[in-house]
Amino acid sequence: MILNNASYPRKNYPTKAIQFGEGNFLRAFIDWQFDLLNEHTDFNTGITIIRPINSLHPKLDNQDGLYTTLIRGLNEKGEKESTARVIQSVNKEVLAYQEFDQYLLEAENPDLEWVISNTTEAGIKFNDTDKLHDQPASTFPGKLTQFLLHRFTTFNGDINKGLIFLPCELIDYNGEELKKCIEQYIYLWDLGHQFQKWIKEANTFCSTLVDRIVTGYPKDEIQQIESSLGYQDNFLVTAEHFYLFVIQGPDWLRDKLKLNQYPLNINVVDDIKSYKERKVAILNGAHTSMVPVAYLSGFDTVRESIEDEYIQSFVDNLIRHEVIPMIKMPQEELLDFYSSVISRFKNPYIQHNLLSISLNSFAKFKARVLPQLISYSKTHHQAPAYISFSLAALICFYQGTRENETYELNDDLKILNNFKEWQPLYESNIQQLTINVLGMTEHWGEDLNSVPKLTETVSSHISNIKQFGIKKAMNQLIA
């Protein structure tokens, strides 16, 4: 029995949202949240999904818009928990390339309020070769401009027919970038001052930060899962328990999203910057700091690493004492977020491979960990011990061997060539190796040898790792 209206009579909600992107993330993130709001409040919002790419894989219409989310992980008590939910917020899917006329018809819906999108990091871009008469334009903002122009024309520029934009693409200030691209298309296609004015005054472009690990379709477990559910679902999607949706937008959005009736983990804020810093420094920073230490300690996944008491103690000291105090947000809030990060790392349903995360580690260290290293050294006039140890472990990791096995390093070619050239120094002159790595000014943006005591601290850690092994060197640090 396949999941559809016949096997699962659905609730019907009027289409008030248009969604660009049919992928796993939005279906387990916003569509899931809208479904909860529909159940618990008078939100009463259905979604039409627009497939923005030229692809003919099966439509969600094959299941009448119905699909299952399987939310899995550790609950507040640290127990394994798995919750299945049939999502009823999606009404249909329209193919922008094969059903362009139907796509434009969606713009004529007087009840439409929301535009949601996730078209990948490369999705919000401008292409000056696009034409207004293309069916459709090649880019997401181009397609959206065509859609909005049709809506503007249909309703004669009615100021009340503007929309609220919630882009989920992983770029900084995604709402502002989307609006800029639309303005470029207005200029390119000479769409006139009145349309430009309507875009500016009738529409609300929000920037967002999204956070949830969505693990997609569980092909290795699907038979067992479908057997327990009692139906077949070709669009089933799995995700972790944790989710966070931060929206930079006006206060009235809280009422619009009915958050006073059913408080989801949605924050409407004046600026998403501090939330981005928190996520990058604590979640991503913990990953990046832990990877070389854990991998050289003999672990292969995030979960088995963080379940080791010494690795968890190392990460705990690094984040609590060297990262969190450097972030200008309420400390209690940061500690709560960190606690959720550790729980996410322990999720038994997610196998996060350390070598996969190690891709471009030096760029990640610069973006995620270096700001706290610099802040700490300015505040305390010395290098942070645990971050320095992580950097030392990273330098050792880039020697490319763990005990008697070799592994492939994936990074910028210039960095890989540097380590190849400096390999003899690992055996003969650790101090010089450290000076060379910290002195990669083209990469770091400055000479890190000028950070108080960093060169000697990192050099000393490398020597200890070489002499005693990483576990003993780490334990000496923690003791």
Query: Do residue 229 and residue 308 come from a single domain?
Result: no
Residue 247 lies in a domain: yes
Give residue 120's pLDDT: 84
Query: Do residue 369 and residue 286 come from a single domain?
Result: yes
Give the helix ranges, DSSP H, for 86-168: 100-105, 140-154
For 134-142, what is the mean pLDDT? Answer: 97
Are 171 and 124 spatial neighbours (Cβ–Cβ below 8 Å)? yes
Give residue 115's pLDDT: 99
Domain CATH number, residue 314: 1.10.1040.10
Query: Do residue 306 and residue 180 come from a single domain?
Result: no
What is the total count of domains within the chain?
2
From the CB of residue 389, how many other CB atoms can be counted at a distance below 10 Å? 30
Q: Which domain holds residue 50?
A: 15-269
Query: Do residue 155 and residue 265 come from a single domain?
Result: yes
CA angle 269–270–272, rounded 5-degree value: 70
Query: Do residue 133 and residue 149 come from a single domain?
Result: yes
**Among 269, 284, 310, where does a domain finish?**
269
What percent of the chain is predicted at pLDDT more than 90?
Answer: 95
Residue 163 lies in a domain: yes
| pLDDT per position as a tens digit, 92-104 | 999 999 999 999 9
From the CB of residue 427, how many other CB atoms can be counted at a distance below 10 Å? 10
For residues 387 and 365, give the distance between their C-alpha atoms in angstroms, rounded to a whole number: 10
Are 185 and 131 spatial neighbours (Cβ–Cβ below 8 Å)? no
For residues 461 and 477, give the distance between their C-alpha atoms in angstroms, rounded to a whole number: 9
| pLDDT per position as a tens digit, 217-244 | 999 999 999 999 999 999 999 999 999 9
Query: Do residue 122 and residue 41 come from a single domain?
Result: yes
Q: Residue 439, Cα to own-chain centre: how many angstroms?
A: 31
What pLDDT band is residue 122 in, cutting at 50, 70 and 90?
Answer: confident
For residues 24 and 237, give the distance between their C-alpha atoms in angstroms, rounded to a whole number: 6
Query: Do residue 195 and residue 228 come from a single domain?
Result: yes
Query: Do residue 109 and residue 214 come from a single domain?
Result: yes
**Among 238, 269, 300, where does a domain finish?**
269
**Among 248, 269, 290, where does a domain finish?**
269
What pLDDT band is residue 75 in, cutting at 50, 70 and 90?
Answer: confident
Query: Do residue 151 and residue 177 come from a single domain?
Result: yes
Are 3 and 41 spatial neighbours (Cβ–Cβ below 8 Å)? no
For residues 288 and 282, give the distance between their C-alpha atoms in angstroms, rounded to a whole number: 10
From the CB of residue 379, how many other CB atoms can be counted at a distance below 10 Å? 11
